[in-house]
Amino acid sequence: MLTLCLIAEVFRISFPSPPYSNQEQQMVLPMFVSSLQVLEEPGASSYVYGCTLLETLSTVSVFSLEGCTDTLSDLFKLFFTIVRPDHSTKIRQCMIQVMSSVVQEVSCVSQELLDLILINILEPAKSEMPSSYALAVDFIRAASTHLEPYIQLFFNNTLVTGKSSESEVADRIYDLILELHGIDPTLLLSVLSQLEYKLKSTDSDERLKVTLLLAKMFALKDSKLALENKTLWFCFLGRFSDVSSDVRTECVKHSKYYLAYHPDLSGDVSAKLHERFHDPEESVRLETVHAVCEAAAESLEAIPKLLMDDVQERMRDKKWAVRKETMTNLARLYRQVTSRSGVQVAEIKKIDWIASKIFHCYYQSSLPDKLCVERCTLSCLVPATLEVKERMSRLISMYSSLDEYATRAFGEMLKSQFQTASSLKSFITYQEEDVEENRDMFEGLKKALSYFVSEPSNAFEILDSIFKACKDQKLKDEFLKALSTDSLCPDVILAKANILKMVEEMKGVSEVIKVLLDHCCSILLDVESVQILVEKICEDMHIHNSDDCIADDDQVALQKLQLLKMVSSAAPTFFSKPETLQHIMGFLRSKNEQISKTFLQILTAIGGHVHTSASGCLHPVLTQLVLKGSPQLTKDATRCFIGVFGDSASMIERLFKNLAAQERLVFEHANLSNTLIAIGQIAKLQPTLFATYYKQVIRDFVVKELLVIDRSKALYNEGNPEWSEESSVSFETQAKVLGIKVLVLWLLGIDRNHKKLAVPVFRLLDTMLAHDGDLQGQDNISAPDRSRLRLSAANGILRLARNPVLVDIISVQQFQRLALVAQDTCKEVRARFMDKLHHALKSMELPMSYISVLSLVGTESDKRARAQHQQMLIQHIGVRRNYFKRNPSDHTHPEYILCEVVYLLAHHPCMESVDESSTQTVQECLSFIMEPLLRGGDAALAFLILESIKKTVDAQDPENKEICEKMHNICDMAINEISTKVDKKLQGVVTQRIALPVRLFSLSKKYSKLKFNNKATEDVSESENCQMISEGNDHELGGKRKKALKEKTKKKPKKHPIEIVSEL
């Protein structure tokens, strides 16, 4: 070693002309290489001499002789092998200097030597030998100028000609480009154009490799490649639309780095991602959602609004996997932002829409969507694992950000959770003998729970297995603990875990039990958490035990109260603690009536669960609100009183006697409004109690003293406005409106056996409509008051029609007069009546025949209102069509509303004199309703219904030929409407019999014995007068009620109000 050090010193002193021949130098060079092996062990005795030798060799170009290729390879291999992390910087620099001098002095760097360098920057050497990797990186940077031509030649041969197959790294060319780009981008300046060529290759695998390479190169945090090479960047952007889904996926996968770290590229990438959100491949859409959400987690400000809107849209994707991942990713983003310490309000506002959009998915019909929303809520929106106070704060914050539809969905989720928990609890606690006695109820529970079984074919079998498993008392006890509303959230979580552990070996059953428990178990709310929730809302509003100074905005404060109202409706037992009720009772005397009203509704929902200690204090407060409170609070206070003290008939009767006392049932009483409102609620909710006093209240006061008598003498003038503000309505009119509501509420409370009591009430309301709101017809009521009374009467009939017990009592004439309110002369009356009608039709509380009332909107002069009503008409017809698909029945076809439409228009006042004006009115009404009815409907069925009507007469007045002619003419107009709107042939067979309503139509004598089939084959686009072949099946009219066809009913004369009173 000393000798070699001396020889090296001689080389240094005599450089550049050493005193040795080339042959002698070639002999000593391998000795130099072998002696440097001692550097591998820094603790060796000869390590110092090795360092000296290396330092000397780094100062002279000893290894630059020709024919020393093997020696040079050994030298490079040795350096990359012996380098260690504990080597000093000087040693590493000397190694780099020696290798740099070799590359600089030799005439050509061989491929073998180049491979020895490059293989150390690739895996697995990069991970397994980090010191070698660091040495290779430093060496390439130091000798980049001299290595560049050899590296470029290597890439040219490999990428273009493929001649470097003998190279060890030729098959990893793209990994090598990526590493070299990170080390020194200038080495690849001539290679980039070749990559652009490769991006356009016809081989999808090759395009995928190049795309992956460039995606990583562009994505490097400090990369300027896209800005320096625009051509390559735009060529890469084209791969976002590649024909191969794998290529598109790789492009999307790396786009999160461009959004987060390269704001200059955000615009280009956002446009491409916007397209990929609508990619036909599910996997690409999934990856796009992942990329944007992960980028948003890194930097929310870097994500354009366009992309976040696209993410929202994917929650309505047709594929369940995409919807699930979108909801999950957005929920995680919400949790990440809201869980950061010191998060700013501005940041939270940027993502507060996420909760609303997730809850909108609860309206999806599929069970997995609903379960996913519930899991996102409990894991991210309001993590159930949080400490109870933090959890309630998060719940308040989340709920305050929800929009109307999300709020409703959240309430439905809570209600469904506790209802299903109750059903499951009843199911598992059934005894065998109970099952036999209450088989229908037990089967009903099974049917309700079968919704949560993914395989409907064997749902009942799985539920039976669960029922049998719960015979194990230990398992049943755990179920009861998990489903009990008295259990705290930690206990529920523990019981749920125990159940899943006990049933984990029951294949097929354990999955269903997990789904049921995930849905039913209350791990968000319990008795303690609700108490804290109430306390926090009190603190936020700053009104408990203080004045009514609301710190929050009124709307936000009321929204927080709606949260309590929603929870009380779903789980009233959670409010059973006296401390919770004391907080709530403190709000009842609030100066803000809306706050007091909301808490009355909360107490009403709690009802019988109010603790005994609190009910004693509650009684005088509620009694005071009922008797002397504002009219706005009286209704809720009465309901609350009945809900809390419903088990005590004596207390409710005592309250009613106070209300119905003779001194209070007088028109001049100061609290008449309170009395009428409270009596109406008692009449509906306590019909048995009210039945004893109904003559005293309904007949003697509401009708005789209130509705029939006109005390004011405001003469009616046609020139006066027909509407006025609420504050301008006279006290008498307000009292009469309340009286009408009392009548309606009374009828809603009666049972089926007493429904005949409704006949005179319907006649009274109909008379009020017939007399334009003036029941007596003496013109003593002003025009605005008449409008109020007409509206109240119409709304009253509409409300009663929603009751299945009372709807059949409404006569045809009463229905026709009610329909004419849609064409009332007062715009406000029309608008408010139609709002009530739309609401009832939307919830399917009214019979389908009431959709025919919308035909009269065809003459509406307000274009905006007309368009809104048409949209609602389309919605109502769509709802009925969907219902028909789920419940097939001949009489639920929306086309059957044509029966009522034809009859309604034939008896319309405008048809009293048939002229051009009346024909135009009918045409407008028909066009208005026929267009949405034929859109996606059964035109053949509509055609047959109209042709069937042409063979009938008016069931109410069979001898009136004029009315029959009008009906037949309107049918022809409707058939013509079909021929102009339907462009294809009406082909096929209508399988059901045409069943017309017998109260409207009866067969004419001409067709009473005629038989014909239901096949329509005429082309309605070519013929205005479609014909039907008269052969085949019997045409049945009106189903089973054949006797009604033979009866000839006559119009009953209108009765005076005094006669109606006598009937009551």
Asked if residue 281 lies in contact with residue 248, where contact means CB atoms within 8 angstroms, the answer is: yes
Report phi then psi at 725, rounded to 5. Answer: -65, 160
pLDDT at residue 665 in the model: 86
Strand partners, 1015: 989
Distance, CA of 469 to CA of 402 (rounded, Å): 41
Residue 301: which pLDDT band, with cuts at 50, 70 and 90? Answer: confident
Residue 417 CB contacts under 8 Å (≥ 6 apart), including other chains? 374, 519, 520, 522, 570
Whether 532 shows a pLDDT value over 80: the answer reads yes
**Tokens standing for residue 661:** 């006392």
pLDDT at residue 581 in the model: 84
pLDDT at residue 1009 in the model: 46
| Alpha helix (H) residue ranges in 339-458 | 345-351, 353-360, 367-376, 388-400, 404-429, 432-437, 439-449
Whether 966 shows a pLDDT value over 60: the answer reads yes
Whether 856 shows a pLDDT value over 90: the answer reads yes
953 or 632, which is more confident = 953
Asked if residue 967 lies in contact with residue 920, where contact means CB atoms within 8 angstroms, the answer is: no
Distance, CA of 821 to CA of 815 (rounded, Å): 10
For the chain, what is the total number of helices (H) and then of strands (E)?
53, 2
Asked if residue 930 lies in contact with residue 923, where contact means CB atoms within 8 angstroms, the answer is: no
For residue 1057, cis peptide bond before it (omega within 30 degrees of 0) = no
Distance, CA of 337 to CA of 344 (rounded, Å): 9
Mean pLDDT, rounded, of the chain = 84
pLDDT tens-place string over residues 108-136: 888 888 888 899 999 888 899 999 999 99
pLDDT tens-place string over residues 249-279: 999 999 999 998 898 998 999 999 999 999 9
Whether 538 shows a pLDDT value over 60: the answer reads yes
Q: 3-state class of 954 per DSSP?
A: strand
DSSP symbols for 997-1051:
-TTTEEE-GGGTT-----B----TTT-SS------SS----STT--HHHH----P
Residue 225: which pLDDT band, with cuts at 50, 70 and 90? Answer: confident
pLDDT at residue 189 in the model: 80
Any idea which of 697-701, 768-772, 1023-1027 has the lowest mean pLDDT? 1023-1027
Which segment, 54-58, 84-88, 132-136, 1018-1022, is predicted with the most confidence on average? 132-136
Residue 201: which pLDDT band, with cuts at 50, 70 and 90? Answer: confident
Whether 303 shows a pLDDT value over 70: the answer reads yes
Whether 859 shows a pLDDT value over 80: the answer reads yes
pLDDT at residue 889 in the model: 58
Which value, to the nearest 10 degrees, does the dihedral of the CA atoms of residues 642, 643, 645, 650 take?
30
Asked if residue 252 lies in contact with residue 287, where contact means CB atoms within 8 angstroms, the answer is: yes
pLDDT tens-place string over residues 559-579: 888 899 999 999 998 988 888
879-884 contacts, C-beta under 8 A, 24 or more apart:
879/841, 879/842, 879/844, 880/844, 880/848, 880/851, 881/936, 881/937, 883/844
pLDDT at residue 163 in the model: 60
Kind and range of the H or E run holding 952: strand 952-954
Any idea which of 331-340, 991-1000, 1053-1062 has the lowest mean pLDDT? 1053-1062
Number of CB atoms found within 10 A of residue 93's CB: 14
The percentage of the chain sitting over the pLDDT mark of 70, rounded to a whole number, equals: 89
**Tokens standing for residue 727:** 């504050």
Whether 1030 shows a pLDDT value over 50: the answer reads no
Look up residue 337 and give its amino acid.
V
The percentage of the chain sitting over the pLDDT mark of 90, rounded to a whole number, equals: 36
Residue 718: which pLDDT band, with cuts at 50, 70 and 90? Answer: low
Distance, CA of 785 to CA of 828 (rounded, Å): 12
Give the gyration radius of the chain's Cα atoms. Answer: 43
1056 or 793, which is more confident = 793
Residue 293: which pLDDT band, with cuts at 50, 70 and 90? Answer: very high
pLDDT tens-place string over residues 338-383: 988 877 788 888 888 999 999 999 998 889 999 999 999 999 999 9
Whether 722 shows a pLDDT value over 60: the answer reads yes
Residue 217 CB contacts under 8 Å (≥ 6 apart), including other chains? 177, 178, 181, 223, 225
pLDDT tens-place string over residues 65-77: 565 778 888 888 9
pLDDT tens-place string over residues 792-836: 999 999 999 999 888 889 999 999 999 999 999 999 999 999 999
pLDDT at residue 32 in the model: 84
Number of CB atoms found within 10 A of residue 14's CB: 12
pLDDT tens-place string over residues 737-796: 999 999 999 999 887 777 788 899 999 999 999 998 888 888 788 888 999 999 999 999
Q: What is the mean pLDDT of residues 5-31?
A: 77
Whether 187 shows a pLDDT value over 50: the answer reads yes
Rounded to the nearest 5 degrees, what angle is found at the Cα of 113, between the Cα atoms of 110 and 118?
Answer: 120
pLDDT at residue 551 in the model: 43
pLDDT at residue 360 in the model: 94
Whether 1027 shows a pLDDT value over 70: the answer reads no
Residue 1006: which pLDDT band, with cuts at 50, 70 and 90? Answer: low
Asked if residue 836 lies in contact with residue 798, where contact means CB atoms within 8 angstroms, the answer is: yes
Residue 34: which pLDDT band, with cuts at 50, 70 and 90? Answer: confident
Under the phi-then-psi rule, with left for phi > 0, alpha for psi from -120 to 50, and beta for the rest, what region is 936? Answer: left
Distance, CA of 289 to CA of 283 (rounded, Å): 10
Whether 459 shows a pLDDT value over 90: the answer reads no
In three state form, how does the secondary structure of 111-163 look?
A: HHHHHHHHHHHCCCHHHHCHHHHHHHHHHHHHCHHHHHHHHHHHHHHHHHHCC
pLDDT at residue 983 in the model: 62
pLDDT at residue 709 in the model: 87
Which segment, 424-438, 887-901, 956-970, is predicted with the most confidence on average? 956-970
Whether 549 shows a pLDDT value over 50: the answer reads no
Whether 1047 shows a pLDDT value over 50: the answer reads no
Number of CB atoms found within 10 A of residue 831's CB: 15
Strand partners, 1002: 953
Distance, CA of 405 to CA of 361 (rounded, Å): 10
Which segment, 97-106, 218-227, 768-777, 847-856, is predicted with the most confidence on average? 847-856
Q: What is the mean pLDDT of residues 242-251?
A: 94
pLDDT tens-place string over residues 513-524: 999 999 999 999
Length of the chain: 1064
